[in-house]
Chain A
């Protein structure tokens, strides 16, 4: 009898267990592994070479969408633009060197995003190669070379804007990554990058791209050469600069555009002269900001008096091909705008329209600049004749007469600086050119830099600005306040430590 009850109980329990299992037996770790229903996650990514290329393109695209920032960092503190009524206070303050760490232009996050994307490509490309058999070593190397190029270019901007910055060379893969990286000396970063670029240059392609847009819009050997020459020039390593500039000069694919076709550098772009240009195409939803920034009704940035002296017909400028209706354009009696990103022709009235409006490229390097880089390096090595020859070549192309320059480094420095202003106006170069002059030979020509800049401000502000710029630390931007608050390893740039 007792047995029976026990049996009964066991039976019941067995039933219950079965019942319970019915509902709950599905337990296992897999059941808890829920993936997000929408969106792409790392577990599903980094499987094919297309994935690697897509992130590489993400880096290009993100860098390209900074065109407006590249313009601001390269131009607005210098003497070729002035502000108009619609300009925001942060930009105005920057133009007058009234820069506080709360200014949004102190935010470097966009550059670091590009750096992180590049780092991801460098990290993952070799790993993907192990999975994807179609991913050839050549392709891996060449994509990594592009990533190295973009990373170096981003750091080169950062160092020129902020001087010392955190030097991050690995991707931010997880929350285990050390985010709190202190600053590294800017010149040190550039020296490391220079060596890195020299190493990876061989992996970059020369003609491995199918389309013109890719040849100009992705990093080729020529783009490498231009960047190496530029960084070397910034580090005053003139021989390296000349060596790599010569690589381009010796390259038959690149040449100066004839003077009558000078404007084709900007419209339609991707000219024979272009070495590296961030590509925009409104038809592909890739819109640049420069049209919106400089078109007639934007009222943001206008050519400065200095720019008018160089280009405007009313100011007896001699520039036929690079002057009024090419670099700038006059409306009404005295309303001038920047024309390089607005026009379709050097006639002053053909305006970009339709999808072309937002399709002009942002030119990072072009042939004329490489010649001027080399000229600068030569003159600093006191090889004045060769420098003069290059300068004359640029002036000939612009159909302006050669100038005679005294055989001194300073005379050449000034002449080349002036020629760069004429040739590369509004292309995001001027401020960095001035800084390079100011920094050279241990700030020997600091006063010249200050003089050039204060010419562009109203007389009431000249003295204040001159005082501010006397300290070379004030040439660099402060680190954004929010960034200092986030990262206790960072020290504010000394000029702003009050």
Chain B
């Protein structure tokens, strides 16, 4: 036997030798056809692998499906693959042409199962998506792109339960604020954005809360919309614990498109949008304004000297300048359009896959002289070095430039337009009524100093406030499959961002001398930030012999470092309005620079076990160390456990055919938040303002050492149920959750000044709770070849409360009462962002009617039987025409004791619903979103209905009290110059903000395949959509979608007349070839 074996081996060896001799001639040829319909397949890959599974040679089939491949080694494996078909290994037989019949791979699997089996690559965990037992929602954007969505926020708004998205402003370049399951920290919530596994850099400098608005926050997603494949929202701490100290505000996982194997594809997408601003609050015209002013003067002063500006005196030198009827709002509003071009090339073969895109967006603003231009490019490149080794490179560059208007004395030009006297002219007239060609910018006008009451058109046209930002991100990933059950990943990522903002205000835009420090003022800020992120990861999937046990997991080690630096320079008295750079020889007011760095180390361990494909346990443990903390609190431990039970797979329920994949899940987790200022813990010393005393240097301590600073931690519990019924026709998902924030990080926490310091940079204390439930459902009513109809609905309720206040916490954040002022209070058990103020009961019809009463309505009298006057603070006696406030304690005096709770800014319910209809090549979609049960402080009404100063007022004031005895429904108080109490902070200006909005309406048409081929195209789509077309609300302000700006955590939800989100009409065309 041995001999025989030897002989065989010898013969074989000889043969192989011969083969190797014949190597040059080993050519295989054949044809690739579809197994089902026997049509030929074009562009199939024929790949030769060597023994190490390394790709060494290959070709593709031609238009007839034929291929010819000259083999390097006939002993090698040759496989045939093409997208959409199962890959097949073929026998090397150079003697004849082979017919390779490929079977289509997606027939039985269906698109749903394809995504369900995906093992997401951008995670720190190693869980199959289908098994995930924590609360996450994934939205696929691929479909939506053809349907013409305009922004990522649009794609999410009203679609994910528990996610509250508010467009912060309609100004170009501004985005939306995102709140996941209620406000859980002090200050604005900033979810962590992870793009393809790379956490996006946040500027770690503790940015100035007073100037930061939500616009800074939502621009986190700096990526072209068309590049996004999916967005996944991680809601509970069991899933966000994987991101440890950065996960407290929730996590958005964004996956971008990758190249796919197949023919090169070119796609072009163009969107044209028309932005229309909703109608502004109607304001008084010049004549009505003058009447109002005269009445204010008369009511407050009786007889008075008529100011020339409102006297209609034709001899007055500025008569023509003060007798206009200017609609200032209209003057600063313009129609706007947006062009959005997107081009991508993608494709790939067995060895390499690539995806490249360029995008350019030119967005016009509805406020004059505002626009944003954005440029995005992205390259995703995958190179399969062998079947075991994958090397990926991702490159991303964005450039973003925004032109805006200046804000002066705390008022932006839109706010100015609301209050500017409408009898003033935009352009200056001389005394004969001839236009001089200059803007009318008096140093002092009837309203006041020209620097405070500027001409908004002039400031917008002549001033500038520009912002440019460039961002670059590079990621290198090496993936090595060590064995069937072990994979190693090494990811190195660099992010870099540089920005510059520049503003200039020429003196002729304001009615001031050029030597005034506010004008001819140039301001420039440059800042740079960068970060490096290195992740080493081992993924394992233990293949037990028996399929009932599945064990998987991962261990990851992350090292991160980020730096920032910047400088700011301001100068004024630049010698000419054309010299707008602060570096010229001008007076430097201020220059400053800053820099810093932060470092993180993290270890993440994830272990998952699944039994019988029914019972799942998933655990996560993450340890984070951050340079912001001292030795004692440096390491933070974040953890999560999720349990899942796929009860639909229980043998007991086998007979229930209507049951699809159904899962009951429960999770618990802890994630955290670190302070923004990484150097806060140090006690710092600096020189005094003078720097010395006598001849000795003088140094003083400037901040307190923080020994107790630690992570803010968020513990959440979640109980969820997912139901897939009737062959995926009905999908239901419900969640109950409780989220408790402990050791809340309070920034700039006020302490008694007797300590020698005004504040602590941070204090960890107190507890904040958010609890609620969520429900999402989708009904796919019709699923036929030509017809498809689905409905979706989601809702969520969140209840927010301060459950524990810090010891010594000052619950009276402000006790100031007065016109337009609301005292700020925090009450244990009440939600954050509650409003307190007086109760407004209407207007006193006449002087005689004014009376102070006790609880039973009896008139209050003093010991001598005289009527006690009804007063404000005991100093002002109310009269006819004044506002009535409820005297809660019935002491005849309206003061701090009469302040009550009058509302809060947290919505009780948020959600959305929509429908999607497809018929042949047409599709039609409607999406609504709603927010219910929240209040808004209408600051615009406070400013435009007070009739107490010289600001312009809204048309609502035409219905005001004018004469004794006048008593009308809904009448406003009387006009009265500097009235002490006619518009105290009361529920008069607190309105219900509830709304239901038709968020988007989309109609699309997909050109038929035959038409496309005639045109030489692969595909073509045309879509028309309209955004924010209809709003159902009782709110009287311009728009009830008021941003939850929590920069002052105790004063959230005030309508400050930002540019409201516009109605946008978009025409979108996509072609592929």
Known: A39-B686, A57-B697, A180-B808. A31 touches B752 (CB 8 A): no
Known: A62-B688, A176-B707, A483-B752. A117 touches B700 (CB 8 A): yes
Q: Which of B593-601, B605-613, B837-845, B935-943 contacts A (4 or more CB under 8 A)?
A: B593-601
B756 x A172 contact (CB < 8 A): yes
Known: A24-B534, A40-B699, A211-B695. A286 touches B690 (CB 8 A): yes
A487 x B752 contact (CB < 8 A): yes
B700 x A41 contact (CB < 8 A): no
Task: Check A168 for interface membership: any CB of B closer than 8 A.
Answer: yes
Task: Check A38 for interface membership: any CB of B closer than 8 A.
Answer: yes
In the complex, chain A residues 27-55 whose Cβ is within 8 Å of any chain B Cβ: 27, 29, 31-43, 45, 50-51, 53-55
Contact with B along A472-498 (1 / 0, CB 8 A): 000000000111011110100000000
CA distance A371 to B10 in the complex (A): 127
A179 x B751 contact (CB < 8 A): yes
Contact with B along A1-28 (1 / 0, CB 8 A): 0000000010011001001100110110
CA distance A483 to B488 in the complex (A): 58
**Chain A, Cβ-Cβ closest to B807:** A180
A9 in complex: contacting residue of B482, B688, B695, CB < 8 Å: B482
Q: Which of B72-80, B499-507, B580-588, B757-765 contacts A (4 or more CB under 8 A)?
A: B757-765
Known: A23-B534, A42-B685, A175-B709. A112 touches B701 (CB 8 A): no
A112 x B698 contact (CB < 8 A): no
Task: Check A269 for interface membership: any CB of B closer than 8 A.
Answer: no
B686 x A488 contact (CB < 8 A): no
B490 in complex: contacting residue of A19, A26, A117, A173, CB < 8 Å: A19
A58 x B755 contact (CB < 8 A): no
**Chain B, Cβ-Cβ closest to A28:** B601
Task: Check A181 for interface membership: any CB of B closer than 8 A.
Answer: yes
B810 in complex: contacting residue of A55, A213, A485, CB < 8 Å: A485
A117 x B701 contact (CB < 8 A): yes
CA distance A64 to B693 in the complex (A): 9
Residues of B near A117 (CB, < 8 A) are 700-701, 756
Q: Which of B336-344, B675-683, B964-972 contacts A (4 or more CB under 8 A)?
A: B675-683
Task: Check A86 for interface membership: any CB of B closer than 8 A.
Answer: no
Task: Check A68 for interface membership: any CB of B closer than 8 A.
Answer: no
Known: A27-B601, A65-B690. A109 touches B758 (CB 8 A): yes
Task: Check A289 for interface membership: any CB of B closer than 8 A.
Answer: no
A54 x B696 contact (CB < 8 A): yes
Q: Which of B395-403, B625-633, B953-961 contacts A (4 or more CB under 8 A)?
A: B625-633
**Chain A, Cβ-Cβ closest to B492:** A23
Residues of A near B686 (CB, < 8 A) are 39-40
Residues of B near A20 (CB, < 8 A) are 490, 536, 557
Count of residues in A whose CB is under 8 Å from the partner chain: 81
Residues of B near A486 (CB, < 8 A) are 750-753, 810
A41 x B685 contact (CB < 8 A): yes
B691 x A42 contact (CB < 8 A): no
Known: A54-B698, A115-B756, A116-B757. A35 touches B682 (CB 8 A): yes
Contact with A along B538-564 (1 / 0, CB 8 A): 000000000000000000010100000
Residues of A near B490 (CB, < 8 A) are 19-20, 23
B529 to chain A, nearest CB (A): 14
CA distance A59 to B700 in the complex (A): 7
Contact with B along A138-176 (1 / 0, CB 8 A): 000000000000000000000000000110100111111
CA distance A62 to B810 in the complex (A): 29
B690 x A172 contact (CB < 8 A): no
**Chain A, Cβ-Cβ closest to B700:** A58
**Chain A, Cβ-Cβ closest to B534:** A23
Task: Check B483 for interface membership: any CB of A closer than 8 A.
Answer: yes
B54 to chain A, nearest CB (A): 16
B704 x A172 contact (CB < 8 A): yes
Residues of A near B700 (CB, < 8 A) are 55, 58-59, 62, 113, 117
CA distance A117 to B700 in the complex (A): 7
Residues of B near A61 (CB, < 8 A) are 688, 690, 692-693, 698
A40 in complex: contacting residue of B684, B688, B706, B808, CB < 8 Å: B684
Residues of B near A33 (CB, < 8 A) are 627
Known: A24-B557, A42-B683, A45-B685. A490 touches B752 (CB 8 A): yes
Task: Check B650 for interface membership: any CB of A closer than 8 A.
Answer: no
Task: Check B229 for interface membership: any CB of A closer than 8 A.
Answer: no
Residues of A near B921 (CB, < 8 A) are none
**Chain A, Cβ-Cβ closest to B634:** A32
**Chain B, Cβ-Cβ closest to A63:** B693
Contact with B along A329-373 (1 / 0, CB 8 A): 000000000000000000000000000000000000000000000
B559 x A181 contact (CB < 8 A): no
Known: A34-B597, A175-B704. A487 touches B697 (CB 8 A): no
A74 to chain B, nearest CB (A): 21
A36 x B755 contact (CB < 8 A): no
B694 in complex: contacting residue of A26, A109, A211, CB < 8 Å: A211
Residues of A near B763 (CB, < 8 A) are 175
CA distance A334 to B96 in the complex (A): 124
Known: A40-B685, A485-B810. A284 touches B692 (CB 8 A): yes
Known: A179-B755, A487-B754. A37 touches B808 (CB 8 A): no
A485 x B812 contact (CB < 8 A): yes
A54 x B684 contact (CB < 8 A): no
CA distance A37 to B563 in the complex (A): 11
CA distance A50 to B696 in the complex (A): 9
CA distance A40 to B708 in the complex (A): 21
In the complex, chain A residues 177-225 whose Cβ is within 8 Å of any chain B Cβ: 177, 179-181, 211, 213-214, 217-218
**Chain A, Cβ-Cβ closest to B629:** A32
Known: A54-B698, A108-B754, A166-B754. A176 touches B482 (CB 8 A): no
A177 x B812 contact (CB < 8 A): no
Task: Check A279 for interface membership: any CB of B closer than 8 A.
Answer: yes
Task: Check B689 for interface membership: any CB of A closer than 8 A.
Answer: yes
A132 to chain B, nearest CB (A): 16
Residues of A near B684 (CB, < 8 A) are 36, 39-42
B705 x A27 contact (CB < 8 A): no
A112 x B634 contact (CB < 8 A): no
In the complex, chain A residues 428-466 whose Cβ is within 8 Å of any chain B Cβ: none
CA distance A172 to B219 in the complex (A): 40
Contact with B along A251-286 (1 / 0, CB 8 A): 000000000000000000000000000010100111
Residues of A near B757 (CB, < 8 A) are 113, 116, 172
Residues of B near A301 (CB, < 8 A) are none
Residues of A near B694 (CB, < 8 A) are 57, 60, 211, 213-214, 217-218, 279, 281, 284
**Chain B, Cβ-Cβ closest to A16:** B488
B480 in complex: contacting residue of A16, A23, A42, A481, CB < 8 Å: A16
Residues of A near B889 (CB, < 8 A) are none
A487 in complex: contacting residue of B488, B601, B709, B808, CB < 8 Å: B808
CA distance A263 to B1035 in the complex (A): 71
Task: Check A107 for interface membership: any CB of B closer than 8 A.
Answer: yes
CA distance A331 to B1023 in the complex (A): 82
B810 x A26 contact (CB < 8 A): no
Task: Check A67 for interface membership: any CB of B closer than 8 A.
Answer: no
Known: A43-B682, A180-B752. A32 touches B627 (CB 8 A): yes
A2 to chain B, nearest CB (A): 13
Known: A179-B755, A211-B695. A26 touches B557 (CB 8 A): no
Apart from A13-B482, A29-B634, A31-B601: 20 A-B pairs, beta carbons within 8 A:
A9-B482, A9-B483, A16-B480, A20-B557, A27-B601, A32-B626, A40-B686, A41-B683, A42-B682, A55-B685, A55-B699, A57-B696, A112-B756, A168-B755, A172-B755, A174-B706, A281-B694, A284-B690, A285-B692, A483-B754
| 6 CB < 8 A contacts A-B | A16-B488, A20-B490, A45-B699, A54-B698, A54-B699, A55-B685
**Top 3 A-B pairs, shortest CB-CB distance:** A116-B756, A109-B753, A58-B700
Q: Which residues of B contact A (CB under 8 A)?
A: 480, 482-483, 488, 490, 492, 534, 536, 557, 559, 594-599, 601, 625-627, 631, 634, 678-679, 682-701, 704-709, 750-758, 760, 763, 808, 810, 812-813, 815-816
